[in-house]
Structure 1
Amino acid sequence: MTSSSTPPNAESSLRAPTIEDPSVYLDDPNRKLLEIDTETRQGPALFRWLTLGMEYLIGAILVALIVAVSSNVVGRSLFNHSLPWVDELARMLFIWLVFIGAAAAFARYEHIAVDALVRRLPLRFAHMLYCLQHLIIAGLMLVMVFGGYQVLSRSSGRSAIMGVPLSLVSLSLVLCVIFIAAVSLWRVWMSVRVIVQPHGQSAESQGE
Structure 2
Amino acid sequence: MIARDLLGLGMPWTEEVASMLAIYAIGFGSLSAWVRSEHLVVDLFSHKLSGLGKNIQYRLTALISCGFFALAAWGAWIMSDMSANNKTVSLSISFSYLYYGIFFSFVGMALIALWQTLRGPVAWLETSHEEEVSQP
Does residue 136 (structure 1) correspond to residue 64 (structure 2)? The answer is: yes
Among 82, 87, 98, the residue aligned to 1:158: 87
Among 24, 33, 41, the residue aligned to 1:96: 24
- Per the TM alignment, residue 165 of structure 1 is displaced from its structure 2 partner at its CA by 1.6
Aligned residues: 120
d(CA) in 2 for partners of 1:81 and 1:121? 63
2:126 aligned partner: none
- Per the TM alignment, residue 114 of structure 1 is displaced from its structure 2 partner at its CA by 2.1
2:120 alignment partner AA: S
Q: 1:133-186: CA deviations, max 9, x gaps?
A: 111111111212222221122222211111122111110111111111111111
1:86 aligned partner: 14
1:141 alignment partner AA: F
d(CA) in 1 for partners of 2:17 and 2:107? 25
- Per the TM alignment, residue 121 of structure 1 is displaced from its structure 2 partner at its CA by 2.9
d(CA) in 1 for partners of 2:115 and 2:54? 16
Q: TM-score, structure 1 length as denominator?
A: 0.52
d(CA) in 1 for partners of 2:83 and 2:71? 18
Runs of 4+ in 1 over 6 A off after TM superposition: none
2:17 alignment partner AA: L
Does residue 125 (structure 1) correspond to residue 28 (structure 2)? The answer is: no
- Per the TM alignment, residue 74 of structure 1 is displaced from its structure 2 partner at its CA by 4.0
d(CA) in 1 for partners of 2:97 and 2:106? 15
1:184 aligned partner: 113
Q: Are the equivalent residues in 1 in contact too, given 2:4–2:11 (CA < 8 A)? A: no
Radius of gyration: which is bigger?
A: 1
- Please, what is the CA RMSD of the aligned residues? 2.1
d(CA) in 1 for partners of 2:68 and 2:114? 12
Structure 2: where are the runs of 5+ without partners? Answer: 122-136
1:165 alignment partner AA: S
2:74 aligned partner: 146
Structure 1: where are the runs of 5+ without partners? Answer: 1-72, 193-208
RCO higher in structure (CA 8 A, sep ≥6):
2
Specify the SS of the correspondent of 1:109. coil
